[in-house]
């Protein structure tokens, strides 16, 4: 819908049809955990704009409960199923945007379709989870998956007074972090009362039970947080080229390799500026930016998507977690000869009330000192500092240049040396030490 809105702003004369198989448009799926946890009481607060508002304010013909079954690029037509009327018809187009998003992983385990097993994607999912957790019948919740959604849902149920267990088959939660930083997250979760079990695979579900490799686990409610896969089958069946992890391959303008077909959002690839390759990055920020670019181009303008550096942030209770760029493991996999340093320091001036500790891990290219990435785990005021690093990555800065940044200082906000600057100083020292050792 961001693309449709952008195209309308540039071309008042365009005929724009938006086909959506559910009954809602433009809502904040990222807010679902906070509705379930009671922080956002009214589900409608997550809705940015209704289908009716798009129709009335922007003359966009939004047709909900309409599912596209096939795209025919040669004929410039899509096959559509009107779910309400149980009829199928064809609709012609000059340009078509595929914005089919992604779907939660649901492995083919016994009992995966039981009513106690829930995904977290749509507002309908939010309604069902909210009804269950407020019914008074849920005391034990098992969250399968220790990623962003898993942690956020664990916090939501903890706020509701439930006993929460998080299972992950990996040896750590938050696989987007290095193992040492992920362990800080797991420690914080356990302090908050969450039962964290890593290296434990799920074998199936029954009513009231999760079967794991370590034995059965009682559960009144089960939530899946196993990540997502792109909804790219529609494009694939139309002969449109796919790329990383099955996402739709696009160029910098969001064009596919098929004339007249564009793609944006969680179904499409993104170019990673540090790794210098296309990846699948399913984040709302990325989707909206890609949609804006597609809308400009569909409206006859010219825009390109700058790319991503892999910035993400979340929290679980009082612990903030953020990352950007490449982790140490990802740097090694990408072939970078690198140094990695870790600093733990108060987020505020050490004498200021509430100066919780935060840990920053920073990665730099060994020879050049070029910043490659950072991870942050800490208390209040820790997480959003990742934006300093993200900005520096977009600018291609070295750790020496990050060290010299004129960052704001006052005791309620940081020490004289901001934790990010401290990490950059240590990384710069490591680079210099290596240079000195090499010269010697």
39-69 as b/e: b if 16+ CB within 10 A: ebeebeebbebbbeebeeebebebbbebebe
Q: Would residue 185 be called left, alpha or beta, if left means φ above 0 and alpha means ψ between -120 and 50 degrees? A: alpha
pLDDT tens figures, 321-376: 999 999 999 999 999 999 999 999 999 999 999 899 999 999 999 999 999 999 99
Q: What is the percentage of the chain residues whose pLDDT exceeds 90?
A: 96
β-strand pairing of 61-64 with 17-20: parallel
* 8 A C-beta contact, residue 373 and residue 393: yes
Instruction: Please tell me the predicted confidence (pLDDT) of residue 435.
Output: 78
Residues 262-300 pLDDT 10s: 999 999 999 999 999 999 999 999 999 999 999 999 999
Residue 428 structure tokens: 């710069």
Q: Is 239 left (phi over 0), alpha (psi -120 to 50) or beta?
A: left
Q: Tell me, yes or no, if 317 is annotated catalytic.
A: no
Asked if 362 and 399 touch (Cβ cutoff 8 Å), the reply is yes
Residues 30, 47, 91, 407: which is the catalytic one? Answer: 30
| Whole-number pLDDT of residue 439 | 64
Strands 270-272 and 202-206: unpaired
Cα distance between residue 347 and residue 355, in whole Å: 6
Q: What is the pLDDT of residues 40-82, one digit of tens each?
A: 999 999 999 999 999 999 999 999 999 999 999 999 999 999 9
- Global confidence as pTM: 0.93
Domains in the chain, CATH or no CATH each: 2-21+65-101+228-298 (3.50.50.60), 106-224 (3.50.50.60), 318-439 (3.30.390.30)
């Amino acid at each position: 819908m961001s693309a449709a809105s952008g195209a309308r702003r540039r071309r008042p004369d365009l005929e724009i049809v938006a086909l959506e198989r559910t009954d809602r448009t433009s809502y904040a799926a990222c807010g679902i955990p906070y509705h379930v946890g009671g922080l956002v009481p009214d589900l409608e607060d997550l809705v940015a704009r209704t289908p009716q508002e798009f129709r009335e304010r922007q003359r966009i013909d939004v047709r909900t409960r309409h599912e596209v079954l096939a795209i025919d690029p040669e004929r410039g037509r899509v096959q559509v199923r009107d779910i309400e009327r149980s009829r199928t018809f064809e609709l012609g187009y000059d340009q078509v945007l595929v914005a089919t998003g992604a779907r939660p992983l649901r492995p083919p385990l016994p009992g995966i379709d039981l009513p106690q097993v829930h995904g977290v994607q749509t507002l309908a999912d939010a309604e069902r989870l909210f009804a269950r957790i407020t019914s008074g019948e849920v005391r034990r919740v098992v969250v399968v998956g220790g990623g962003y959604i898993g942690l956020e849902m664990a916090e939501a149920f903890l706020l509701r007074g439930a006993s929460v267990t998080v299972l992950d088959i990996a040896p750590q939660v938050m696989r987007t972090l290095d193992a040492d930083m992920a362990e800080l997250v797991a420690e914080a979760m356990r302090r908050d009362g969450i039962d964290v079990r890593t290296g434990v695979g799920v074998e199936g579900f029954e009513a009231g039970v999760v079967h794991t490799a370590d034995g059965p686990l009682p559960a009144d409610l089960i939530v899946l947080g196993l990540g997502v896969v792109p909804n790219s089958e529609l494009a694939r069946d139309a002969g449109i080229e796919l790329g990383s992890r099955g996402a739709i391959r696009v160029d910098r303008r969001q064009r596919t390799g098929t004339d007249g077909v564009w793609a944006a959002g969680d179904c499409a690839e993104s170019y990673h500026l540090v790794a210098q390759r296309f990846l699948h990055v399913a984040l709302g920020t990325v989707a909206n930016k890609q949609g804006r670019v597609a809308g400009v181009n569909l409206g006859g303008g010219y825009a390109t998507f700058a790319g991503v550096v892999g910035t993400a942030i979340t929290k679980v209770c009082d612990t903030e977690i953020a990352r950007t760029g490449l982790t140490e493991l990802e740097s090694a996999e990408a072939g970078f000869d690198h140094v990695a340093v870790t600093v733990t320091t108060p987020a505020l001036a050490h004498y200021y009330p509430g100066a919780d500790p935060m840990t920053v891990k920073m990665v730099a290219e060994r020879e050049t000192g070029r910043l490659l990435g950072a991870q942050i785990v800490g208390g209040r005021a820790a997480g959003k500092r990742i934006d300093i690093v993200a900005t520096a990555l977009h600018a291609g800065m070295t750790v020496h240049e990050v060290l010299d940044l004129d960052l704001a200082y006052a005791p309620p906000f940081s020490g004289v040396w901001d934790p990010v600057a401290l990490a950059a100083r240590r990384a710069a020292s490591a680079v210099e030490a290596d240079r000195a050792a090499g010269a010697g």
